C-alpha cells in the first residue's frame, strides 16, 4: 500500500471516529465536549499529515539533527495549539483528549487490518 493511500484511509477513519465520538459526547456533555472532540481530532489529523509528509520526504540517509528539530517543532506546535484551545474555555479538556486519541486508534486498526490481509 502506498503512503498516500494509507494516509487517506487513516484520515477518513479518524475523521469518522471523531465525528461519532463528538456527537455522542455532545449528547452527554454539551457543546464544549462536542467542540473539544472535533478540535482534538483535527489537531491529531493535522499532526499525522505533517509527520507523514516528513517521512515520505526522507532520503536514504536522513540528517538526524534536522529530523529531531522537525519533530520538536511539530510537537511544540501541537502543544501550543492544545494550550490555546484550553485557554479559550470553549473546548472541554476531556473532549480534547478524546479527540487526540482518535488517531492512534484509527492507525492501529488500519495497521492490523493490513497485517491480516498480508499487504
> Percent of the chain, pLDDT > 70?
89
Q: What is the CA radius of gyration of the chain?
A: 16
Q: Are 25 and 33 in contact (CB under 8 A)?
A: yes
pLDDT tens across 59-108, in order?
Answer: 556 677 777 787 888 889 889 999 999 899 899 999 999 999 999 999 99
pTM reported for the whole predicted model: 0.83
Residue 117, burial from CB neighbour count under 10 angstroms (0-12, 13-18, 19+): exposed
Going by pLDDT thresholds of 50, 70 and 90, the confidence category of residue 51 is confident
Locate the domains of the chain by residue range: 3-117
What does the longest C-alpha to C-alpha distance in the chain come to? 50
Report how far residue 28's alpha carbon sits from residue 118's, in angstroms, rounded to the nearest whole number: 40
Amino acid at each position: 500500500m502506498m503512503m498516500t493511500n494509507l494516509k487517506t484511509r487513516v484520515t477518513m477513519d479518524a475523521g469518522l471516529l471523531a465525528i461519532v465520538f463528538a456527537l455522542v459526547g455532545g449528547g452527554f456533555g454539551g457543546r464544549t465536549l462536542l467542540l473539544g472532540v472535533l478540535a482534538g481530532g483535527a489537531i491529531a489529523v493535522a499532526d499525522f499529515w505533517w509527520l507523514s509528509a516528513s517521512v515520505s520526504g526522507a532520503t536514504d540517509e536522513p540528517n538526524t539533527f534536522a529530523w529531531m528539530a522537525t519533530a520538536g517543532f511539530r510537537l511544540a506546535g501541537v502543544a501550543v495549539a492544545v494550550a490555546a484551545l484550553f485557554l479559550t474555555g470553549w473546548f472541554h479538556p476531556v473532549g480534547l483528549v478524546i479527540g487526540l486519541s482518535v488517531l492512534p486508534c484509527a492507525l492501529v486498526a488500519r495497521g492490523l487490518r493490513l497485517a491480516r490481509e498480508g499487504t
